[in-house]
Amino acid sequence: MAKKKNTLTTAFGIPVADDLNSQTAGERGPVLMQDVHLLEKLGHFDRERIPERVVHAKGAGAWGYFEVTADVTNYTKANFLSKIGKKTEVFVRFSTVGGEKGSADAARDPRGFAVKFYTEEGNYDLVGNNTPVFFIRDPLKFPDFIHTQKRHPATNCKDPDMFWDFLSLTPESIHQVTVLFSDRGTPATHRNMNGYSSHTFKWYNDKGEYHWVQYHFKTDQGIKSLTRQEAETLSGKDPDHATRDLYEAIQRGDYPSWTLEMQIMTPEQAKDYRFDIFDITKVWPHSDIPPTTIGKLVLNRNPENYFAEVEQAAFCPGNLVPGIAASPDKMLQARLFSYHDTHLHRLGPNYHLLPVNAPKNAPENSYQRDGFMRFDANGGDGPNYWPNSFEGPTPNPQAAEPPFEVSGEAARHPYGHPNDDFVQAGNLYRDVMSDQDRENLIGNIVDHLGGAQKRIKLRQTALFFKADQDYGRRVAEGLGLDTGEVERLAEMTDKERAEATA
C-alpha cells in the first residue's frame, strides 16, 4: 500500500477529529445520533457490496498494450490495427466462470480472457475464454447450463448429478468437456494459458469486403497446467494463487505477453465449408485455415485499486469498432445483449462513465442522459435528442458494416448434424493428446463423474465412447461400468438414450 499523509475527512471533505471513539452520552452511555461521522461510515459500509457477476465472479486484471506486428489492412479497416507498430492501451481481466468471488483460482473451469482495447474509435471488447470451444451452441440453454455448474437448490452444494445430468443430455458439450477435463482445465496460472475468441467474428476492410475470423492469443510464457492433485492442494493452500502470481509477475517487471494469431476465412470458403463455421462447439482445423501472427499483447501495469479497476471493469462483446462486426453465431448474438444488460444491473445505467470503462481515446458523444450516478456533465446544455438543428453529434455512415445477406424461415431450427459433435472431441483425444494427457483426462473424469448416479454415469460414458471407443472404454473401466451396456447406449439416438437412462 502506498504511503500518503493527509487529514482524514468525511466523504464530503469535512475534517474528522477522532476516528477511534464514537460520541456517547457520558463515558459509558449510549451512542449519540449526532455522531454523523459514525453514521456515514456505517451507512457506507452497509452498502459496500455490489451484485456479484452471475458468471466470471472471481477475476484478476492488469493494464498493458496491444501492438500490431503485421499488415492486416486488406482484411479490416479498424484504426487500431491500421499500421505495423501501432500500440493501443488495453485492460485485461482473467477469471474463472462458475465459482463465487472468493472461490479458488485452481478450480476446474474454463477461464475468462477479456480484453478491452481503448481505441481512437471507441472501446473494443474481445471477451474470450482459454478454450477455443464452448459447451452449448444455443443461448436458450445458457441459464440452465450455468445452474448445473453452480449450487444445488436444496443443499447449496456443488452437485455431480446436476453437473453431469445436463451435460450427458447435451451431447454437443462433448468437445468442451474433453478440453475441460484435460489438464488444460486447470491452468497453472493466468499467464500460462491461451485466450481464444471462440466465436467467429467478421472483419471488413475500407472497400466493404469481408472475411470471417477467429482470434488466438498464444501465451509467450508457455502452456502450463496443474494436475488434479496439484489443483486440489493449491485450492486449499492458496485459493488466490493465480491472482497473486499475475500481480507479483508484473510488480517484478516480468511482464506477461501473448502473441495474437488469427484464423481468416473467405466468405467463399465459409459457404462450402464442411461444418457450420459459426458453431462455437467446433474449432477451425489449423490444416484448413493456418493461423497467422498479427500482434502482441503485453501486460505491464497492475491496478492501483482492485474494486475500482477490476471489479468495476465491464466488458461487452457488443462493443465492436468499425472494421469488426459480429457473426451469426447464436451464442455471440445473445452475448451482444446479455453483457450490457447484466452490467446495467450490476453497476447501473452509467457504468460507461467509470474510469476503467470510459472510452479513453475517443469522446463519448451520445444522446443518452440522466440516470443514477451520472457524474460527468451529462451533456451540459447541448441537445438531448436527434435529429436536431443545434449542432449535436451526427451519425457517420462510414461506420456502417457492409450488408450481409440472410435467408430462410423464422423458426426454432434444431441443429441438423448431431453426429458432427463427436468428431473434434475424438480428434483431440486420439491425435493431439499425449499418453500422459489421456491418462490424466480419464483420471479427472472418473474422479468427478464417479460422484453421479449410475444411470447418469452410463449416459455420459456413452458420449465419450461415441467420441472415441478407447476413450469410452477407459472411462467405463475406471467407473466400474459394464462396457457392453455403454456400447449399446452409444448406438442409440439421443432420445432413446435419454429414455433408457431416465
Could you tell me the three cell numbers for 335?
452475448
Cβ-based neighbours of 339, under 8 Å, separated by 6 or more: 127, 314, 315, 316, 317, 318
Q: Of the candidates 53, 58, 216, 241, which one interacts with ligand NDP according to CB under 6 A?
A: 216
Separation CA 475–CA 20 (nearest Å): 61
Q: Which residue do the cell numbers 459394464 mark?
A: 482
Orientation of helix 454-467 relative to helix 160-168, angle to 10° = 40
- Which of residues 194 and 319 has its CB atom nearest to ligand NDP in the complex? 194
Could you tell me the three cell numbers for 35?
455522531
φ and ψ at residue 212, rounded to 5 degrees: -95, 140
3-state class percentages of the chain: helix first, strand second, coil last, to nearest 5: 35, 15, 50
316 binds ligand NDP (CB under 6 A): no
- Which of residues 82 and 427 has its CB atom nearest to ligand NDP in the complex? 427
Separation CA 479–CA 489 (nearest Å): 16
- Which of residues 32 and 432 has its CB atom nearest to ligand NDP in the complex? 432
Catalogue the E-assigned strands of 237-315.
257-265, 292-301
**Does the active-site annotation cover 56?**
yes
Separation CA 81–CA 17 (nearest Å): 54
226 binds ligand NDP (CB under 6 A): no
The stretch among 243-251, 393-401, 422-430, 485-493 that binds ligand NDP (CB under 6 A) is 422-430
Q: Of the candidates 123, 192, 350, 424, which one interacts with ligand NDP according to CB under 6 A?
A: 424
**Does the active-site annotation cover 448?**
no
Q: Of the candidates 148, 170, 182, 357, which one interacts with ligand NDP according to CB under 6 A?
A: 182
437 binds ligand NDP (CB under 6 A): yes
Q: Of the candidates 60, 78, 167, 283, which one interacts with ligand NDP according to CB under 6 A?
A: 283
Q: Of the candidates 264, 297, 354, 433, which one interacts with ligand NDP according to CB under 6 A?
A: 433
Shortest distance, CB of residue 223 to ligand NDP, whole angstroms? 6
- Which of residues 132 and 295 has its CB atom nearest to ligand NDP in the complex? 132
- Binding string, 5-44, against ligand NDP, x = CB under 6 A? ----------------------------------------
- Which of residues 165 and 421 has its CB atom nearest to ligand NDP in the complex? 421
Shortest distance, CB of residue 426 to ligand NDP, whole angstroms? 8
281 binds ligand NDP (CB under 6 A): no
Separation CA 284–CA 270 (nearest Å): 11
- Binding string, 100-139, against ligand NDP, x = CB under 6 A? --------------------------------x-------
- Which of residues 81 and 180 has its CB atom nearest to ligand NDP in the complex? 180
**CA 424 → CA 137, 291, 376, 427, distances in Å?**
15, 18, 50, 5
Give one DSSP letter per residue of 461-482, joined into a string: HHHHHHH-HHHHHHHHHHHT--
Give the up-direction half-sphere exposure of residue 257: CA atoms within 13 A in the CB hemisphere: 15
Shortest distance, CB of residue 45 to ligand NDP, whole angstroms? 45
Shortest distance, CB of residue 238 to ligand NDP, whole angstroms? 25
Beta partners for residue 292, in sequence order: 262
Q: Of the candidates 101, 224, 237, 286, which one interacts with ligand NDP according to CB under 6 A?
A: 286
184 binds ligand NDP (CB under 6 A): yes
- Which of residues 81 and 441 has its CB atom nearest to ligand NDP in the complex? 441
Orientation of helix 435-449 relative to helix 454-467, angle to 10° = 160
**CA 357 → CA 120, 312, 376, distances in Å?**
14, 8, 14
Q: How many other CB atoms are there within 10 angstroms of residue 100's CB atom?
A: 12
- Which of residues 360 and 438 has its CB atom nearest to ligand NDP in the complex? 438
Separation CA 180–CA 479 (nearest Å): 19
Shortest distance, CB of residue 288 to ligand NDP, whole angstroms? 8
Instruction: Select which of 37, 56, 211, 216 is catalytic.
Output: 56
The stretch among 202-210, 284-292, 354-362, 384-392 that binds ligand NDP (CB under 6 A) is 284-292
**CA 243 → CA 105, 116, 124, 229, 315, distances in Å?**
7, 19, 24, 20, 19
Instruction: Select which of 37, 79, 123, 129 is catalytic.
Output: 129
Beta partners for residue 258, in sequence order: 219, 297
φ and ψ at residue 190, rounded to 5 degrees: -65, -25
Q: Which residue do the cell numbers 444488460 mark?
A: 341
Contact predicate 441/177, CB 8 Å = no
199 binds ligand NDP (CB under 6 A): no
Q: Of the candidates 92, 177, 299, 428, which one interacts with ligand NDP according to CB under 6 A?
A: 428
Contact predicate 271/127, CB 8 Å = no
Shortest distance, CB of residue 379 to ligand NDP, whole angstroms? 45
Separation CA 329–CA 278 (nearest Å): 5
200 binds ligand NDP (CB under 6 A): no
Alpha helix locations (H) across 62-141? none
- Which of residues 298 and 425 has its CB atom nearest to ligand NDP in the complex? 425
Residue type, 147: H
Q: How many residues contact ligand NDP, by CB under 6 A?
A: 18
Shortest distance, CB of residue 231 to ligand NDP, whole angstroms? 16
The stretch among 77-85, 176-184, 391-399, 485-493 that binds ligand NDP (CB under 6 A) is 176-184
Catalytic positions, please?
56, 129
Residues that bind ligand NDP (CB under 6 A): 132, 179, 182, 184, 194, 216, 218, 283-287, 424, 427-428, 432-433, 437
